[in-house]
Every structure is written in C-alpha cells, then in structure tokens.
C-alpha cells in the first residue's frame, strides 16, 4: 500500500471518529435540552397539585421484605426511598402528602399473630388511611419479580373499570417510559386489594424487576431511584393538570387540609 493511500486512510479514520464524537455530543445535548424543557413544563403545571391530598404507599416493610434480589437488595428498602422522594416532590408543589410508612415497619399491630393476618391488617390500614383522609389519589410503589430473569421494565396497574385510575396510570407510565428509556410496558388491569378498596383513583407502580440483574443494579442506585420518583411525580402533575381545579371542598375535606397545614407548620406529621 502506498504512503499516499495510508495517509488518506488515516485522515478518513480521524474524520469518522470526529463525526461520531460530534453526533454523540449532539444527541447528548438534545437529551439535556429535552429534559430541561420537560422539567420546565412540569413546573408550570405543578400548581394543579395545590391542596390535593395524595397518599404515597411504599410497599411492604417490617417483617415483610417483599422481593429480594440476589445481592440481598430488598424491595421494602427501595420502595421506601422512592416513596419518600416522591412525597418530597409532591409536597414542594403544594400537595398534602400522606406516607403510609416513613420507616422500616408495617401497619399491623405487634399483637396480631400469623403472617397472613398481619398482611391483611397491614393492607386494610393502608387503604383506610387513604379513605379516611378523603385522598384525591393513592399511589403504591412496589418492585417486581419473576421466575425468568429476562423480564424487566416499570409498569403501572389499576383496578378494572376505574377510568380515573387508568387515566392516572397512563400519565405515569408515559413518564416512566420517557425518562427511564428502558420500558415499553403499558398499564395493566388487576384485582388487588388496595386498588379495589380505595375510594379514589389508585395506581400501583411496579418500578422494575429485582430478578433482572441489570435492572436490579439500577434499582439500588440512588440517582436512578430519584429519576423513578420524578417520573411518577411528573405523571401525577400532568394527570391533575388535566383534571382542572378541585371540586368545592366538603366540610370534612376542609378540616383535613386545615389540620395538615397546621401540622406541617409545626413540623409535625398529620
């Protein structure tokens, strides 16, 4: 091969490398701009959350670990972290947020015996918290598992026939797909106790599979957990923005919101 051909080949190779780097940089900048514009759009719609009572339910807790990853990662720990981050986002936007748990615990009595009885009591109390406080929406956070390690992707679940729940789930699912870029799943209908017995729109969000090694690694990453929480938050902002202003408050609701604000001012939980 002549020196001229070798030189031309090297120049072309450098040009191709530079072009590849430029394309990558352009893609990266486009993603940054898209994310910035999306956050600005969500911020503009966030006032729709004002005075909305939202129950955030981190699944499992206490003696119930939920799904367990190969490296010992526990569903109950992941859901609690994501739930707290979601609650913080919602609260900063003016929502009245109730967490079903803020520590590694369940809602059953210590005197209740038997795993089945404790689980039943735990679920009943999660639902009661939402119903008793006349919540506008209930969102329960979980982590999925499956026999096949190939299954992956976040997915939302709702009770059949609950149209408002389905609307909320579609907004959340769309944001999960857009921000995480690793799921093509769609909302599914299920018959869960918490979705069936809540008197308001209710969505269960399975944020990924602990049985998938790659996704389990992401689920244990604080940055990824924050991204998941933001996706759920953005979906809820868009859902409530579509709903318009809340209906005129009943006396009971007014008292609930008043108590929440008074306790928040004092640094107390309602």
Same domain, 43 and 55: no
Q: What is the pLDDT of residues 183-222, one digit of tens each?
A: 899 999 999 999 999 999 999 999 999 999 999 999 999 9
- Identify the pLDDT of residue 32: 44
Question: Is 270 a member of any domain?
Answer: no
Q: How far apart are CA 205 and CA 143, in angstroms?
A: 8
pLDDT-derived band of residue 110, with 50, 70 and 90 as boundaries?
Answer: confident
Q: What is the pLDDT of residues 20-47, one digit of tens each?
A: 665 655 554 445 455 555 567 777 777 8
Inter-CA distances, 48 with 86, 93, 166, 229, 243, Å: 16, 9, 19, 18, 8
Same domain, 174 and 43: no
Same domain, 114 and 56: yes
Q: Which domain holds residue 89?
A: 50-265
Q: How far apart are CA 107 and CA 128, in angstroms?
A: 11
Q: Are 191 and 128 in contact (CB under 8 A)?
A: no
pTM strictly above 0.85: no
Question: Is 58 a member of any domain?
Answer: yes
Measured from the Cβ of residue 183, the count of other Cβ atoms closer than 10 Å reads 17
- Residues above pLDDT 70, as percent of the chain: 76
Same domain, 85 and 178: yes
- Identify the pLDDT of residue 261: 59
Question: Is 191 a member of any domain?
Answer: yes
> Looking at the 3D structure of the chain, how many domains does it have?
2
Residue 130 has pLDDT above 70, yes or no: yes
- Identify the pLDDT of residue 204: 99
Q: Look up the CATH number of the domain holding residue 92.
A: 3.40.630.40
Same domain, 43 and 164: no
- Identify the pLDDT of residue 125: 97
Residue 145 has pLDDT above 70, yes or no: yes
Question: Is 3 a member of any domain?
Answer: yes
Residue 267 has pLDDT above 50, yes or no: no
Same domain, 55 and 83: yes
- Identify the pLDDT of residue 265: 47
Q: How far apart are CA 114 and CA 122, in angstroms?
A: 12
Question: Is 253 a member of any domain?
Answer: yes
Same domain, 155 and 133: yes
Question: Is 186 a member of any domain?
Answer: yes
Question: Is 76 a member of any domain?
Answer: yes
Same domain, 11 and 94: no
pLDDT-derived band of residue 55, with 50, 70 and 90 as boundaries?
Answer: very high
Residue 142 has pLDDT above 80, yes or no: yes
Q: How far apart are CA 217 and CA 206, in angstroms?
A: 16
Three-state DSSP state, 37: helix
Same domain, 42 and 54: no
- Identify the pLDDT of residue 43: 73
Q: Average pLDDT of 107-125?
A: 93
Q: How far apart are CA 229 and CA 239, in angstroms?
A: 15
Whose structure tokens read 């995480």?
180
Same domain, 124 and 210: yes
Q: Are 206 and 139 in contact (CB under 8 A)?
A: no
Domain boundary among 31, 49, 67: 49
- Identify the pLDDT of residue 96: 93
Domain boundary among 49, 66, 86: 49
Q: Are 237 and 49 in contact (CB under 8 A)?
A: yes
Q: How far apart are CA 239 and CA 219, in angstroms?
A: 25
Same domain, 150 and 126: yes
């Amino acid at each position: 091969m002549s020196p001229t051909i070798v030189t031309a080949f090297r120049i072309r190779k450098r040009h191709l490398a530079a072009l590849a780097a430029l394309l990558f940089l352009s893609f990266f900048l486009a993603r940054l701009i898209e994310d910035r514009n999306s956050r600005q759009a969500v911020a503009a719609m966030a006032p729709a959350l004002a005075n909305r009572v939202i129950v955030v339910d981190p699944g499992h807790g206490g003696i119930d670990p939920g799904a367990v990853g190969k490296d010992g990662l526990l569903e109950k720990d992941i859901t609690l972290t994501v739930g707290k981050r979601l609650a913080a986002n919602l609260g900063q936007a003016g929502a009245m947020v109730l967490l079903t748990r803020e520590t590694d615990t369940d809602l059953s009595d210590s005197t209740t015996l038997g795993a089945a009885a404790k689980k039943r009591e735990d679920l009943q109390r999660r639902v009661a918290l939402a119903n008793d406080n006349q919540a506008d929406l209930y969102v329960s956070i979980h982590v999925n598992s499956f026999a096949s390690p190939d299954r992956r992707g976040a997915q939302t679940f709702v009770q059949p026939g609950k149209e408002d729940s389905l609307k909320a789930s579609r907004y959340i699912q769309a944001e999960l797909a857009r921000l995480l870029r690793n799921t093509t799943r769609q909302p599914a209908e299920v018959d869960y106790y918490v979705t069936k017995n809540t008197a308001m729109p209710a969505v269960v969000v399975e944020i990924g599979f602990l049985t998938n090694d790659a996704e389990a690694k992401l689920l244990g990453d604080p940055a990824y957990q924050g991204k998941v929480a933001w996706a759920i938050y953005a979906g809820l902002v868009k859902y409530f923005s579509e709903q318009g202003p809340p209906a005129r408050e009943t006396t009971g609701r007014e008292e609930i919101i008043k108590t929440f604000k008074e306790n928040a001012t004092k640094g107390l939980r309602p």
